[in-house]
Amino acid sequence: MTRQDTDALRVIQGLEDARSSVRLRAALAAGTTPDPRFFDKLVERCAIEPEFFVRDMLTWALTRHPVSMTLPGLLREVRSEHARARSQALHTLSKIGDRRAWPAITRELLSDADDEVARSAWRAAVVLVPHGEEAALAAVLATQLGRGERETQLSLSRALVALGEVVLPVLRTATTAPDPRMRAHALATERLLRDPDAGFEFAIEEAKRILVLGGSGQEG
Protein backbone atom coordinates (compact mmCIF):
# COMPACT_ATOMS: atom_id res chain seq x y z
CA MET A 1 0.00 0.00 0.00
CA THR A 2 1.38 3.41 -0.98
CA ARG A 3 1.62 6.42 1.30
CA GLN A 4 -1.24 8.00 -0.65
CA ASP A 5 -3.40 4.92 -0.09
CA THR A 6 -2.62 4.96 3.62
CA ASP A 7 -3.52 8.65 3.92
CA ALA A 8 -6.78 8.12 2.02
CA LEU A 9 -7.72 5.21 4.27
CA ARG A 10 -7.00 7.32 7.35
CA VAL A 11 -9.33 10.06 6.08
CA ILE A 12 -12.13 7.60 5.29
CA GLN A 13 -11.80 5.96 8.70
CA GLY A 14 -11.69 9.39 10.35
CA LEU A 15 -15.02 10.32 8.80
CA GLU A 16 -16.55 7.37 10.67
CA ASP A 17 -14.91 8.12 14.03
CA ALA A 18 -17.15 8.49 17.09
CA ARG A 19 -15.40 11.76 18.02
CA SER A 20 -16.71 14.83 16.22
CA SER A 21 -13.28 16.53 16.39
CA VAL A 22 -11.74 13.62 14.45
CA ARG A 23 -14.54 13.70 11.88
CA LEU A 24 -14.03 17.44 11.48
CA ARG A 25 -10.30 17.01 10.82
CA ALA A 26 -11.00 14.18 8.39
CA ALA A 27 -13.49 16.30 6.45
CA LEU A 28 -10.94 19.13 6.35
CA ALA A 29 -8.33 16.73 4.99
CA ALA A 30 -10.79 15.39 2.39
CA GLY A 31 -11.33 18.90 1.08
CA THR A 32 -7.71 19.99 1.31
CA THR A 33 -6.55 17.06 -0.81
CA PRO A 34 -9.58 15.95 -2.86
CA ASP A 35 -9.63 12.31 -3.90
CA PRO A 36 -12.40 10.43 -5.77
CA ARG A 37 -12.19 7.75 -3.08
CA PHE A 38 -13.58 10.20 -0.53
CA PHE A 39 -16.75 11.08 -2.41
CA ASP A 40 -19.08 8.24 -1.44
CA LYS A 41 -18.09 8.46 2.23
CA LEU A 42 -18.54 12.25 2.28
CA VAL A 43 -22.05 11.95 0.84
CA GLU A 44 -22.91 9.07 3.15
CA ARG A 45 -21.69 11.02 6.18
CA CYS A 46 -23.69 14.13 5.21
CA ALA A 47 -26.88 12.11 5.55
CA ILE A 48 -26.21 11.10 9.14
CA GLU A 49 -23.76 13.62 10.63
CA PRO A 50 -25.32 15.15 13.78
CA GLU A 51 -22.86 18.03 14.28
CA PHE A 52 -23.47 21.25 12.36
CA PHE A 53 -19.81 22.26 12.05
CA VAL A 54 -18.84 18.83 10.76
CA ARG A 55 -21.69 18.92 8.21
CA ASP A 56 -20.50 22.31 7.03
CA MET A 57 -16.97 20.97 6.57
CA LEU A 58 -18.34 17.94 4.71
CA THR A 59 -20.15 20.29 2.33
CA TRP A 60 -16.95 22.30 1.82
CA ALA A 61 -15.03 19.09 1.09
CA LEU A 62 -17.62 18.08 -1.51
CA THR A 63 -17.37 21.47 -3.23
CA ARG A 64 -13.64 20.85 -3.63
CA HIS A 65 -14.28 17.75 -5.77
CA PRO A 66 -15.09 17.97 -9.51
CA VAL A 67 -18.69 18.93 -10.27
CA SER A 68 -18.84 16.08 -12.76
CA MET A 69 -18.52 13.75 -9.79
CA THR A 70 -20.50 15.59 -7.13
CA LEU A 71 -23.55 16.66 -9.11
CA PRO A 72 -25.00 13.22 -9.98
CA GLY A 73 -24.51 11.96 -6.43
CA LEU A 74 -26.10 15.00 -4.83
CA LEU A 75 -29.05 14.87 -7.23
CA ARG A 76 -29.69 11.32 -6.04
CA GLU A 77 -29.53 12.47 -2.43
CA VAL A 78 -32.20 15.16 -2.82
CA ARG A 79 -34.63 12.31 -3.54
CA SER A 80 -33.62 10.40 -0.41
CA GLU A 81 -36.28 9.30 2.08
CA HIS A 82 -34.06 10.72 4.85
CA ALA A 83 -34.64 14.39 5.62
CA ARG A 84 -31.06 15.17 6.63
CA ALA A 85 -29.75 13.67 3.40
CA ARG A 86 -32.13 15.86 1.36
CA SER A 87 -31.33 18.96 3.38
CA GLN A 88 -27.55 18.61 3.23
CA ALA A 89 -27.55 17.72 -0.46
CA LEU A 90 -29.60 20.83 -1.22
CA HIS A 91 -27.28 22.93 0.93
CA THR A 92 -24.28 21.58 -0.94
CA LEU A 93 -25.90 22.22 -4.32
CA SER A 94 -26.48 25.84 -3.29
CA LYS A 95 -22.76 26.15 -2.49
CA ILE A 96 -21.69 24.57 -5.79
CA GLY A 97 -24.08 26.83 -7.71
CA ASP A 98 -24.26 24.76 -10.90
CA ARG A 99 -27.59 25.56 -12.56
CA ARG A 100 -27.81 22.13 -14.11
CA ALA A 101 -29.19 21.14 -10.71
CA TRP A 102 -32.22 23.42 -11.12
CA PRO A 103 -34.66 20.74 -12.40
CA ALA A 104 -34.11 18.84 -9.12
CA ILE A 105 -35.54 21.75 -7.09
CA THR A 106 -39.13 20.58 -7.27
CA ARG A 107 -42.29 22.04 -5.80
CA GLU A 108 -42.31 19.04 -3.46
CA LEU A 109 -38.91 20.01 -2.05
CA LEU A 110 -39.88 23.68 -1.78
CA SER A 111 -42.86 22.63 0.35
CA ASP A 112 -41.18 19.68 2.10
CA ALA A 113 -42.80 18.80 5.42
CA ASP A 114 -39.41 19.01 7.13
CA ASP A 115 -38.53 22.65 7.84
CA GLU A 116 -34.78 22.13 7.41
CA VAL A 117 -35.29 20.52 4.01
CA ALA A 118 -37.64 23.28 2.89
CA ARG A 119 -35.25 26.00 4.09
CA SER A 120 -32.35 24.38 2.23
CA ALA A 121 -34.52 24.09 -0.87
CA TRP A 122 -35.45 27.78 -0.69
CA ARG A 123 -31.80 28.82 -0.46
CA ALA A 124 -30.78 26.50 -3.27
CA ALA A 125 -33.64 27.64 -5.49
CA VAL A 126 -32.66 31.30 -5.23
CA VAL A 127 -29.08 30.46 -6.23
CA LEU A 128 -29.97 28.09 -9.06
CA VAL A 129 -33.09 29.64 -10.63
CA PRO A 130 -32.55 30.37 -14.34
CA HIS A 131 -32.97 33.90 -15.61
CA GLY A 132 -36.60 34.57 -16.43
CA GLU A 133 -38.04 32.01 -14.01
CA GLU A 134 -37.80 34.15 -10.87
CA ALA A 135 -41.49 35.13 -10.91
CA ALA A 136 -42.61 31.50 -11.14
CA LEU A 137 -40.31 30.61 -8.25
CA ALA A 138 -41.66 33.52 -6.20
CA ALA A 139 -45.20 32.24 -6.73
CA VAL A 140 -44.26 28.82 -5.33
CA LEU A 141 -42.32 30.29 -2.41
CA ALA A 142 -45.25 32.55 -1.54
CA THR A 143 -47.39 29.48 -0.83
CA GLN A 144 -45.14 28.87 2.20
CA LEU A 145 -45.69 32.30 3.78
CA GLY A 146 -46.76 32.02 7.40
CA ARG A 147 -45.13 28.64 7.80
CA GLY A 148 -43.22 27.63 10.92
CA GLU A 149 -41.46 29.62 13.62
CA ARG A 150 -39.43 32.81 13.26
CA GLU A 151 -36.26 31.10 11.99
CA THR A 152 -38.15 29.35 9.21
CA GLN A 153 -40.08 32.49 8.32
CA LEU A 154 -36.87 34.54 8.21
CA SER A 155 -35.30 32.00 5.82
CA LEU A 156 -38.27 32.29 3.49
CA SER A 157 -38.26 36.09 3.66
CA ARG A 158 -34.56 36.18 2.82
CA ALA A 159 -35.13 33.90 -0.15
CA LEU A 160 -37.96 36.06 -1.45
CA VAL A 161 -36.04 39.29 -0.91
CA ALA A 162 -33.07 37.82 -2.80
CA LEU A 163 -35.31 37.48 -5.87
CA GLY A 164 -35.90 41.25 -5.87
CA GLU A 165 -38.83 43.33 -7.08
CA VAL A 166 -40.32 40.40 -9.02
CA VAL A 167 -41.78 39.10 -5.73
CA LEU A 168 -43.95 42.18 -5.08
CA PRO A 169 -47.09 40.97 -6.91
CA VAL A 170 -47.24 37.68 -4.98
CA LEU A 171 -46.49 39.43 -1.69
CA ARG A 172 -49.29 41.93 -2.26
CA THR A 173 -51.69 39.11 -3.07
CA ALA A 174 -50.64 37.32 0.12
CA THR A 175 -51.39 40.40 2.23
CA THR A 176 -55.10 39.74 1.59
CA ALA A 177 -54.95 36.00 2.37
CA PRO A 178 -57.44 34.58 4.92
CA ASP A 179 -54.58 33.33 7.14
CA PRO A 180 -53.36 36.14 9.44
CA ARG A 181 -49.92 34.51 9.76
CA MET A 182 -49.54 34.56 5.99
CA ARG A 183 -50.67 38.18 5.82
CA ALA A 184 -48.23 39.26 8.54
CA HIS A 185 -45.36 37.34 6.97
CA ALA A 186 -46.06 38.86 3.55
CA LEU A 187 -46.14 42.38 4.99
CA ALA A 188 -42.91 41.77 6.91
CA THR A 189 -41.19 40.43 3.80
CA GLU A 190 -42.34 43.41 1.77
CA ARG A 191 -40.94 45.71 4.46
CA LEU A 192 -37.60 43.89 4.34
CA LEU A 193 -37.53 44.24 0.57
CA ARG A 194 -38.01 48.01 0.88
CA ASP A 195 -35.68 48.37 3.88
CA PRO A 196 -33.19 45.47 4.25
CA ASP A 197 -31.75 47.07 7.38
CA ALA A 198 -35.07 47.05 9.23
CA GLY A 199 -34.53 43.62 10.76
CA PHE A 200 -37.02 40.75 10.64
CA GLU A 201 -38.27 41.07 14.22
CA PHE A 202 -39.08 44.73 13.69
CA ALA A 203 -40.70 44.00 10.33
CA ILE A 204 -42.92 41.21 11.69
CA GLU A 205 -44.02 43.28 14.70
CA GLU A 206 -44.83 46.22 12.42
CA ALA A 207 -46.80 43.88 10.16
CA LYS A 208 -48.86 42.67 13.13
CA ARG A 209 -49.55 46.28 14.15
CA ILE A 210 -50.71 47.10 10.63
CA LEU A 211 -53.05 44.12 10.61
CA VAL A 212 -54.50 45.07 14.00
CA LEU A 213 -55.15 48.58 12.70
CA GLY A 214 -56.83 47.11 9.65
CA GLY A 215 -54.45 48.43 7.01
CA SER A 216 -52.51 46.72 4.24
CA GLY A 217 -49.29 48.64 4.70
CA GLN A 218 -49.20 49.57 1.01
CA GLU A 219 -48.59 53.07 -0.21
CA GLY A 220 -51.08 54.94 -2.33
pLDDT digits (tens, 9 = 90+) for 114-167: 999 999 999 999 999 999 999 999 999 999 999 999 899 999 999 999 999 999
Query: Between the CA of residue 80 and those of 44, 84, 109, 124, what are the distances in Å?
Result: 11, 9, 11, 17
- With 0.75 as the threshold, say if the pTM is over it: yes
User: What dihedral angle (degrees, nearest 10) is formed by the CA atoms of 121, 123, 126, 130?
Assistant: -50
Distance CA 52, CA 69 (A): 24
Length of the chain: 220
- Provide the pLDDT confidence category of residue 203 given band limits of 50, 70 and 90: low
Cα–Cα distance for residue pair 36/94, rounded to 1 Å: 21
On whether the CB atoms of residues 175 and 210 are closer than 8 A, the answer is: no
> Residue 145 gets which letter from DSSP?
T
Measured CA to CA in angstroms, residue 118 lies from 3, 21, 22, 108 at distances of: 43, 29, 30, 9
| DSSP per-residue string spanning 187-201 | HHHHHHHH-TTS-HH
Q: Cβ neighbours of residue 79 under 8 Å, at least 6 residues apart? A: 86, 104
CA atoms of 135 and 166, how far apart (whole Å): 6
pLDDT digits (tens, 9 = 90+) for 41-99: 999 999 999 999 999 999 999 999 999 999 999 999 999 999 999 999 999 999 999 99
pLDDT of residue 216: 45
CA distance 192 to 198: 6
Q: Return the beta strands (E) in 41-190 as ranges.
A: none
